[in-house]
Structure 1
Amino acid sequence: MLDISLLHLCIALGGLCLLYLFSRWTTQQSGLRGPPSPSIFWGVSKMLHQALDPGHLYEAWAKEYGLVYQITAALGTPQVIVCDSKAIAYIFSKDAFTFVRTPGFRAVVEVLIGKGILWAEGESHKRQRKGLNPAFSNSAVQALTGTFFDVAHKIKASWDVILDSHPTDSEVIIEVQEWMNRAAIDCIGIAGFSHDFNAVGGESSAAIDALKSFNEAQFSGLSLLSHLLQFFIPPLGRLPSRRNLLYRNLSQFSERILGDLLATTRRERDEILEEKEVKTSAIGLLIKAERSEGNLHIDEEEVMAQMKTILIAGFDPPATTLVWVLIELSRRLDIQAQLREELNHFPNADPSWEKLQTSFPLLDAVVSEVLRLHPSPPEMTRMAGEDTVLPLNTPIIDANGRSIDQIPISKGTLITLPTQYLNSLPATWGSDAKEFNPYRWLKGSNKATEENVAHRRLLSFGDGTRICLGKAFTLAEMKAVIMVLIRSYSFELPNGPNTKIERHSSLLPRPKIAGQDGAKVPLRVRRNNNGGSWIRDIYV
């Protein structure tokens, strides 16, 4: 009897799910053209997820169907792809209320992080962001620049020990992804929580191990299936797949270690009179907001969610981008040498925050170019929270053969901005838009991109009211680490500039050297002042 009841329950739930999906499908038809679906079940979702560069697919579809078109995602769900500049500007201008995070994304974030700033919408997001703004302001980042350099010098000290331990070798193979992970966790630990995880020094913790587990795991089968589908059916995020279990472990471990930090900071705040450092750190601001009774008040659940958000957001994107910087400079040894020459204007000292922003144009250009080519994440998806009309800069032909310059968007429609593709449009960035060319950011080097040089029109950090809160923090951190490492060492790919790079599915997509087990990027590292030839691989 029990088996029959469970069977009937499963059938009923399955029927309700199909009715829900059918109703959403029938109400979200946009009347746009788009590519045919290769799979009734997957649509094009699996194809996009597994592509090393999804931008190639978006580009091919845009050429055939125009700058706004419709694709069929998993379970037959319609999804509007927007590449038109006017439409994109409109979406970001309405990002707080009209275009919101999708239920699937919010469900994943709630499991992993909680109801913090990444989960919040509308007035709740506005309130949470206002409370955190001081911790990531330019003045706060200016005060933290010395911390970023300290972490970079700790890496250098560790690498010098490694090189010294192999005196017969002029080069060693160092797995840089692991070290950039350590750098990122130490930077966000000290800057965000006034706590030194000392990951660069070799210490470990449950949170660090949980973060690392995503780089080492390979996802397939049920994990891949539930990951892709939960963005369309949020309850699937509760399935005990490998990825979901890692999400939960990371959440639990992060909460445990951050809870200890929070308790310690609360005690210190109560015991000391001088609270300047506590007030200006992210954790100090969160405690202040928790204890306030005004509009900025946040409860204990939000405090923990914000801390986990800061930890994970301060770990994955900066670490991944730093690895891409080293990869791209290893592909272009000439640019690496020119950057080193620029940075050697400060051979034995670290510049101030002001000089870091203004005195190293090629460093700034290299960082901007890597962010352009390798945004993290490579695309952004929103859902229309209300009926609206999307204006277009370039008219398109709709499914009925009519030329239109605006598109009615119904509530619930999923809209994706393919950031990686948009950051490499030839019309915006020139004929070499897909190539690593930092010189495009230097004034006067390319007339077609001078407007972009002036305004830094990258979508890598988003835009509008939800632009990445940690943008200035991330840029300063990356520049400090790159400066110390490029001044000190030369980097080459293990099999030369044409070494194949693949995509590893982690919290966010990460690069890996083809054939490596997990997200590993071993590079050949040599001191700049040493000559000699490479003798053998030494993995560290």
Structure 2
Amino acid sequence: MTLDVIGLAGFNYTFDALNENATPNELNQAFSTIFHSGSNQRTMMLLRIISPLFRYIRTSRDTVAEQAQVVMGRIGKELLSSSKAAVAQSEKEISDRSLRSRNLLSLLVRANTAPGIPESHRLQDEDVLAQIPTFLVAGHETTSTATTWGLFALAQEAEIQSKLREELWSVETDTPSMDELNALPYLDRVVRETLRVHSPVPAIGRVATVDDEIPLSQPVTDVNGDVHHSIRIRKGQNVMIPISAVNLYKPIWGEDAEEFKPDRWLSPPQASSAIPGVWSNQMTFIGGPRACIGYRFSLVEMKALLFVLIRAFTFELAVPADEIIKKASIVQRPLLKNNPEAGNMLPMLIKPYTRI
């Protein structure tokens, strides 16, 4: 569903991912290839982060991923070309701005071709094309995974699931607006707690552009007995930001940090205010000038998904909770502990809900 949403909202492109009778979409298949979770690829990914030398070792997956990227690049060029044509046509024929195409790519193309912009500020086609996979990836994999973990959490907490369902049924329409969804306090707390406990992206990398020194909140003692109050970073050095570790840090969130408790957001711990995240005192969407540009879109999409699903169905785990493990391949997906090679899955017992 999230792939269909970002396809239409982002690029006016139909994936037809929810239509099981549709011809398999090659871009959808390319994404599935790139995001398939497996223990072997995770090991190689970690080795490549630790040492650049491992990046020169080719694997069979590298070839498959490169083929998928070729498909993504070709379709990206088609999307850009059609978007440019549509924008040019709309500028000629439509004077009412409200009737113009407002998908993400059209807005980007229109802004990039607006009169008065210095040539040095315009994006080249290759720069625009580089954004398409980013928006497609960030716009569907993260929200899909976050919603999955939300259902995982709710399936283990029948009372929380029932309380949420009652609030959702208090809405008088089946198609609430963004403002109506954002006005539901318990839904908001459930989403905040889901994204804190089950951050879709557990960690993210950055590259230092200058030499720097990072102060520590608490001093650390190394193996030589030397005490450090900061960490020196060299230009070009890879830095990993541990999103999940910060979101679950017990000195901030308490001894129950790893437990799913939406009502903790009625009075979040004071220490969490120091977390430099762009949203909700957590690092899920990162912070600063390179924070997630689409986090508001993701939040309302996740709320809309839960609104529809929790009103219509009840969810229970079909296996014990400790049988579900997390494996990360950019995003953190569920696998079965006793059968990880089966791929990403979250067995559920789903029953239609009848309101009495």
- Asked whether the 8 Å contact 2:253–2:269 carries over to 1, the reply is no
- Asked whether the 8 Å contact 2:8–2:103 carries over to 1, the reply is no
Q: Does 1:307 align with 2:136?
A: no
Structure showing greater radius of gyration is: 1
**CA pair 306-377 structure 1, distance change in 2 beyond 3 A:** same
The Cα shift of 1:319 comes to 1.0
1:210 match: 30
- Asked whether the 8 Å contact 1:219–1:243 carries over to 2, the reply is no
Task: Output one character per residue of 1:359-409: Cα deviation in whole Å (capped at 9) or x when no partner.
Answer: x11111111111111223212333333222222332333455344433443
Distance 2:273 2:260 in 1: 19
Q: Aligned to 1:509, what secondary structure does the other structure show?
A: strand
1:370 match: 194
Distance 1:462 1:501 in 2: 26
**CA pair 522-296 structure 1, distance change in 2 beyond 3 A:** farther
The Cα shift of 1:286 comes to 2.8
Distance 1:245 1:432 in 2: 44
- The one of 93, 99, 104 equivalent to 1:282 is 104
Q: Aligned to 1:524, what secondary structure does the other structure show?
A: strand
- The one of 167, 176, 184 equivalent to 1:351 is 176
Distance 1:307 1:277 in 2: 23
Distance 1:291 1:417 in 2: 36
**CA pair 332-239 structure 1, distance change in 2 beyond 3 A:** same
Distance 1:345 1:323 in 2: 24
Map 1:121-520 → 2, pairs under 5 A: 183-202=1-20, 203=22, 204-214=24-34, 218=38, 220=40, 223=41, 226-232=44-50, 234=52, 237=55, 240-272=58-90, 273-274=93-94, 276=98, 280-291=102-113, 294=118, 295-346=120-171, 348-358=173-183, 360-443=184-267, 456-496=280-320, 498=321, 500-514=323-337, 515=339, 517-520=342-345
1:179 match: none
Question: Percent of aligned pairs with the same residue?
Answer: 30
- Asked whether the 8 Å contact 2:48–2:55 carries over to 1, the reply is yes
What TM-score does the superposition give when structure 1 sets the normalisation length?
0.58
Task: Output one character per residue of 1:84-126: Cα deviation in whole Å (capped at 9) or x when no partner.
Answer: xxxxxxxxxxxxxxxxxxxxxxxxxxxxxxxxxxxxxxxxxxx
- Asked whether the 8 Å contact 2:38–2:343 carries over to 1, the reply is yes
Divergent runs of 4+, >6 A: none
The Cα shift of 1:271 comes to 2.4
Q: Does 1:526 align with 2:346?
A: no
- Asked whether the 8 Å contact 2:146–2:195 carries over to 1, the reply is yes
- Asked whether the 8 Å contact 1:215–1:518 carries over to 2, the reply is no
The Cα shift of 1:465 comes to 0.9
Q: Aligned to 1:395, what secondary structure does the other structure show?
A: strand
- Asked whether the 8 Å contact 1:430–1:448 carries over to 2, the reply is no
What TM-score does the superposition give when structure 2 sets the normalisation length?
0.85
The Cα shift of 1:307 comes to 1.1
- Asked whether the 8 Å contact 1:189–1:196 carries over to 2, the reply is yes
The Cα shift of 1:357 comes to 1.4
**CA pair 501-215 structure 1, distance change in 2 beyond 3 A:** farther
- Asked whether the 8 Å contact 1:390–1:407 carries over to 2, the reply is yes
Q: Please, which runs of 5 or more residues in structure 2 have no aligned partner?
A: none
Q: How many residues align?
A: 343
The alignment's C-alpha RMSD in Å is 2.9
- Asked whether the 8 Å contact 2:37–2:327 carries over to 1, the reply is no
Distance 1:530 1:474 in 2: 29
The Cα shift of 1:211 comes to 1.6
Q: Aligned to 1:394, what secondary structure does the other structure show?
A: strand
- AA in 2 matched with 1:330: A
Q: Aligned to 2:216, what secondary structure does the other structure show?
A: strand
Distance 2:328 2:225 in 1: 39
Task: Output one character per residue of 1:391-438: Cα deviation in whole Å (capped at 9) or x when no partner.
Answer: 233233345534443344333444333211111112211221111111
- Asked whether the 8 Å contact 2:243–2:283 carries over to 1, the reply is yes
- Asked whether the 8 Å contact 2:214–2:230 carries over to 1, the reply is yes
The Cα shift of 1:232 comes to 4.9
Task: Output one character per residue of 1:185-204: Cα deviation in whole Å (capped at 9) or x when no partner.
Answer: 01101110122322112333
Distance 1:227 1:408 in 2: 25
- AA in 2 matched with 1:339: L
Q: Aligned to 1:351, what secondary structure does the other structure show?
A: coil
**CA pair 451-239 structure 1, distance change in 2 beyond 3 A:** closer
Q: Please, which runs of 5 or more residues in structure 1 have no aligned partner?
A: 1-182, 532-540
Q: Aligned to 1:315, what secondary structure does the other structure show?
A: helix
Q: Aligned to 1:196, what secondary structure does the other structure show?
A: coil
Distance 2:137 2:160 in 1: 31
Q: Aligned to 2:19, what secondary structure does the other structure show?
A: coil
The Cα shift of 1:462 comes to 0.4
Task: Output one character per residue of 1:1-23: Cα deviation in whole Å (capped at 9) or x when no partner.
Answer: xxxxxxxxxxxxxxxxxxxxxxx
